[in-house]
């Protein structure tokens, strides 16, 4: 007979179901996005690069660092008299501060980042991708706090919300795409030239993508309250045991950085091939 705890089975089912629903909605979003701006069009390539930038940067600066470093520290901190509340407040405050500053820096650097991933593009397509990137790169901040908020929940054995939150992201994105089609019309063949894109179209398409990530991160705070936690910013970081975590994170970051350099080269090569063969980035990558 199995001795598996029913609560473990229930938690596993909740996490698995969240992943499945999120993947299905993600597929639906990809299909609707293709119907909205096409797959191999210049606009689709521009948006694809811009919307992928925050994911790429996040993978470079964080990757699996939070998983490897934060959860063990949070679990150990629970032995403190306050149950780890002081450690959580300080670490989350530090993370929010760091991700905000990093997100701001990379958003300002949008033109440079776009050029890293778009060898051989015309100035018009670069301009559109950069405009998209200004709206998409703030996702970096929200991806960061989503990971931190989620890892705090994981350390308290509340695994479900972390896996279900991306569902909200997909729903917001689907809603944004539906509104875009209703207002501006679908363009799966690329009839809309890159120079025809207005600020309102760019803001709606890229802005709702970022809004989805923001909703994904902020919804986790509701789950915090259910396990008795409340976000309280605390900027008194010294002397509270954050040093070992940051030292371990720095080594993990170096390993992730080396790995991601290969991904950057691959994307740049795919972008060049796409431009040369007049095909989309997705096709070239395959």
* Domain chopping of the chain, boundaries: 6-275
| Per-residue model confidence (pLDDT) at position 68 | 62
Read off the tokens for 149: 């908020």
| Per-residue model confidence (pLDDT) at position 282 | 47
| Per-residue model confidence (pLDDT) at position 251 | 56
**How far is Cα 243 from Cα 183, in angstroms, rounded to an integer?**
51
| Per-residue model confidence (pLDDT) at position 86 | 85
Q: Which residues of the chain have pLDDT under 50?
A: 1, 282-286
| Per-residue model confidence (pLDDT) at position 126 | 96
Contacts of 158 (CB under 8 A, 6+ apart): 223, 226, 227
**How far is Cα 36 from Cα 205, in angstroms, rounded to an integer?**
10
Read off the tokens for 48: 């694809």
Q: In degrees rounded to 5, what are phi and psi of residue 84? A: 90, 5
Place of tokens 């629970």: 78
**How far is Cα 151 from Cα 142, in angstroms, rounded to an integer?**
14
pTM above 0.85, yes or no: no
| Per-residue model confidence (pLDDT) at position 262 | 61
DSSP for residue 219: T
């Amino acid at each position: 007979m199995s001795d598996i705890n029913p609560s473990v089975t229930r938690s596993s089912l909740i996490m698995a179901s969240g992943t499945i629903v999120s993947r299905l909605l993600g597929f639906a979003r990809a299909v609707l996005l293709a119907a909205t701006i096409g797959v191999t069009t210049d606009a689709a390539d521009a948006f694809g690069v811009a919307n992928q930038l925050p994911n790429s940067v996040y993978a470079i600066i964080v990757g699996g660092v939070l998983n490897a470093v934060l959860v063990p520290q949070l679990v150990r901190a629970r032995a403190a008299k306050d149950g780890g509340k002081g450690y959580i407040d300080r670490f989350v405050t530090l993370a929010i501060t760091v991700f905000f500053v990093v997100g701001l820096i990379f958003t300002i650097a949008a033109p440079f980042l776009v050029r890293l991933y778009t060898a051989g593009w015309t100035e018009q397509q670069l301009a559109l991708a950069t405009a998209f990137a200004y709206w998409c790169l703030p996702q970096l901040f929200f991806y960061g706090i989503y990971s931190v908020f989620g890892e705090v929940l994981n350390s308290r054995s509340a695994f479900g919300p972390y896996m279900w939150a991306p569902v909200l992201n997909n729903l917001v994105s689907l809603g944004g795409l539906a509104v875009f089609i209703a207002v501006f019309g679908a363009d799966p063949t690329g009839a809309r030239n890159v120079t025809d894109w207005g600020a309102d179209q760019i803001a709606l398409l890229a802005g709702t993508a970022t809004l989805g990530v923001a909703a994904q991160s902020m919804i986790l705070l509701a789950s915090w309250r259910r396990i008795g936690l409340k976000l309280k910013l605390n900027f008194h970081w010294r002397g509270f045991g954050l040093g070992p975590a940051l030292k371990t994170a720095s080594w993990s970051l170096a390993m992730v950085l080396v790995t991601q350099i290969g991904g950057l080269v691959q994307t740049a090569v795919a972008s060049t091939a796409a431009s040369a063969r007049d095909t989309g980035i997705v096709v070239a990558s395959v």
